[in-house]
Structures are given as C-alpha cells and as structure tokens.
A and B are shown apart, each in its own frame.
Chain A
C-alpha cells in the first residue's frame, strides 16, 4: 500500500541547535550557502523582560496540491508513489518557474548542478530503505517526528490524534504534509 509520509515539527521542543541543518547538508551534499532545510528564529515578541521567540524548521512542505508540480513545464517536479514531491534532475532545465510558484521559499537553484533542488524527505538514501530522514534521526530534542499516516499505529498517526497539527499558509490550499505543533510556544 502506498505510504502517506509526513513530518511533524514539535516547535516547543526545538532548541535551535541547527543539528538538522548540518545533518541535511552532509547527507545531501548541498552546496555552500544553500540549504534544503534550516531552522531560523522567529521575530522576538513582547517587551522586556517578558520576551519570547521560537525556532521554526523550514523546508519543502510536501504539498499534495503542489504549485511547483502544476507549473513545471517539463514534469521534472512530480509526486512519487508515496506522495513525496521530488525533482527529476534529468528533466529539469532550471527555468525556476517552480521557485516563483512555491509559497514557502523551499526551492533553490543548486549552484553546482544548475537544476532546482529541495528537501526530498531523504527519500532515496534513507526513507526507501526504511530509515528516517537525516534531520529527524539527528534531532537532539526529539522535536522532529516522521512516519506514515496511512498506518494508524505509526508514531506520527498516534501523535496527530492527540495534538493539533497545523500546516503553513493553509489559505493557499496547497495541502502540505508537514505539520507544525504550536503547543507551548508563544506565537
């Protein structure tokens, strides 16, 4: 049965250590200065001494109605059998239409290959072999969770029944498969 892979980001547990950022760069050989994922701090909120911020992991949101896939002129951007959005490097010409369409700024033109690059959930190197994406397995605060929503017993499915997972920019109707848990952070 096809999988419904999802990533859950529990923001209250993220300490902003960037282990995910670094693990991703090592795993995927991402060129210097470019990132498939990064975890920037949000703007500081409140007035001294009552101030707060949190870190929010950014990467491809694995939309199920992905603007990048529909605009791609060569079908280089596609959904694979498990609903993961991927880029076929042989078909991509680097027109950057998908980058203009992506509302999450998740894509970039890889300066070494000349084609568009982004998070793949480490599909080829990890997930297809039954492992978890590099960022998830390295996360020191257990802020990241990865699993199959088609399996009701998976950790991810179980977690989402108890916690409210929210997607980014839901008003755009892109149906992302990356969920954010805001419990315990000040938005």
Chain B
C-alpha cells in the first residue's frame, strides 16, 4: 500500500492460525465433554465413543497449542505467559484454563487407554473425579475461545452482546454450542462403526438446531456489512449451508430411513465449525 495516497485498509492482526486454533480448542472441549459425559452416565454401552473422544481431545488441543506458540512473534518466549499474569486479561486467564484442560485430558486419556489393566485397577478410582473436573475445564476452554474475542470491546462484531444484554457477550455462547457440536461430530467420526449411535445423532441434531437459532440471532444483531463481500460466501455456504442446514437435512433423512449417515453428516459439521471460526475472526477485523 502507498503510505500517503493509498486507501487505508483494516489490518488483520489475527489470521488463519488463530481461527484454526479456536476451532481445534472447540473440538477438544466438545470431544472431551462427549467422552466424559458418556463415561459418567452410560459407561459400558459406548466404550469406543469414550476412547475416540478423549484421543481427539488430546490430539486437537496439543496441535492447537503448538499452533498458538508458533504464531507468536517470539515463539520461544511463550513461557512468559505463565510467569507474567494479568488477571484483567482474558488471554492470561485462558492460558491457565487451557493448560489445566490439557493436563486433565492427558491424565484422563491415560486412565482410559492405558490404565485399565489389572495391576492398575487402583488408578480407576481417579477416573470419575478426573472426568468431572475435566468437564468444568472443557466448558471453560470452549467458552474461553469466545471470551477471547468478545473481550475486545473496540470490535463491533466480536463485542456483540446476546440479545442486547451488554453484560452477556454473544460469542462465548455461540462457540460453546459450536464446540460441543463439532467435538461430538469429530468423536462420532472416530467411532462411526461402533453400533447404534442414535442417541448421539439426536443430540447432534438438537445442537445443530440450537446453533441455527443462535446464528439467526447473530445475523439480526449486527450490521449487514459483516456478512458482505468474500465473507458472504464463507458465511452462507460454509457456516449455514454446509455446516448446519445440509447436515441437519441428511441426519433427518438418516434417522427416518434408518441409514447410517454419520460420516457425511459429521464431516460437514466439522467443516462448518471451521468455517464459523474463520468467518468470525476475519469479518470482525475486516470491517
């Protein structure tokens, strides 16, 4: 850009890596929720779902954190985030929530995958407490990804309040629902051939409908410019079409006709979640 005569454009401070991280942290939180809630409430029925969920949670959160560190201006100084704390900064608080979540996910994964042998039976007494505490941290991680953006009060899009209530930001709610939906979808992809998953499919449909409602509220709450230009394609095709409406229709068809449509539906939901993060991160900075 010409420094003097060029048209000034809004610079993108946070780009692709951040959007992808927010997506991965959401998947991790949602997959952990799926696994731990299954473990707590119907342990023996869906062992594959539990194993799939916890493995996906560990892998996605570690890749996500790696991406964050690499994206820093000074990657090797990431440890300063643990040393210098600013309790007024959402990111500083988030560092501890996500670190706690990662540690709990790894411990829980160990208990699920490796701790089941006979001589380690004692360890299993820790499994349910770890799952319970992990649920709190996974909800924390999923909502944190929204709070990170909504805390930027100077950003008209990210700071959008829920139904006009200024103390309730919109993005944490939307990202929690999307995280649960995409995390559940990713978990089901990993356990797609493990028998009857009807209960999960129904939960998934409820989550998709809930997200459609939230997206509609968002659409009506903010200025139309945020849905224009290249962002219009990403929003209507990626977020709404591929991510919500098409999978909802296919899963409805699958349930009424008793067909296994887990793979296509869940893949689309995951791509929709990724589109949503890219859309929110970029459109908030472009306009």
Contacts and interface: CB of A to CB of B under 8 A. Distances in A.
- Answer yes or no: are A and B bound together in one complex: yes
Contacts of A35: 3
A153 interface: no
By DSSP majority rule, is chain B's interface helix, strand, loop, or mixed?
A: loop
Nearest to A33: B3
Given A67-B153, A105-B11, A174-B154, A91 B80 contact: yes
B155 interface: yes
B84 A75 contact: yes
B164 interface: no
B4 A91 contact: no
B4 A73 contact: no
Interface residues of B, number: 33
Given A93-B74, A93-B80, A99 B13 contact: yes
Interface string A94-116: 11110111110100111001111
A38 B11 CA distance: 15
Contacts of B263: none
B117 interface: no
Highest count of chain B CB atoms <10 Å: which of A96, A109, A116: A96
Interface stretch (B87-95, B130-138, B244-252, B264-272): B87-95
B137 to A, nearest CB: 19
A103 B4 CA distance: 20
B89 A40 contact: no
Contact of B4 (A41, A70, A93, A94): A41
A76 B73 CA distance: 13
Contacts of A113: 73
B257 interface: no
Most buried by B among A43, A105, A113: A105
B89 A70 contact: yes
A35 B1 CA distance: 12
Contacts of A109: 73
A74 interface: yes
A18 B86 CA distance: 38
Contact of B81 (A18, A21, A40, A93): A93
A172 B77 CA distance: 32
A110 B73 CA distance: 8
B3 A21 contact: yes
A92 interface: yes
Given A40-B3, A40-B5, A101-B154, A115 B86 contact: no
Contact of B155 (A75, A94, A100): A100
In which size bucket is the chain A interface? Answer: 35 or more
Contact of A103 (B3, B14, B85, B154): B154
Nearest to A99: B13
Interface string B84-128: 111011111001000000000000000000000000000000000
Given A67-B152, A73-B89, A73-B92, A100 B285 contact: yes
B167 interface: no
Interface in B140-195: 151-155
A16 B4 contact: yes
Contact of B3 (A38, A74, A110): A38
A167 interface: no
Nearest to A103: B154
Interface in A41-80: 41, 43, 55, 67, 70-76
Interface in B198-249: none
Nearest to A76: B84
Contact of A67 (B10, B74, B84, B154): B154
A157 interface: no
Given A70-B88, A73-B86, A105-B11, A95 B72 contact: yes
Contacts of B4: 16, 18, 38-41, 55
Contacts of B42: none
Contacts of B7: 43
B72 A97 contact: no
Contacts of B77: 93-94
Contacts of B88: 70
Contacts of B154: 67, 101-103, 172, 174
5 contacts: A18-B4, A40-B3, A67-B152, A93-B72, A97-B91
Interface of B: 3-8, 10-11, 13-14, 72-74, 77-78, 80-81, 83-86, 88-92, 95, 151-155, 285
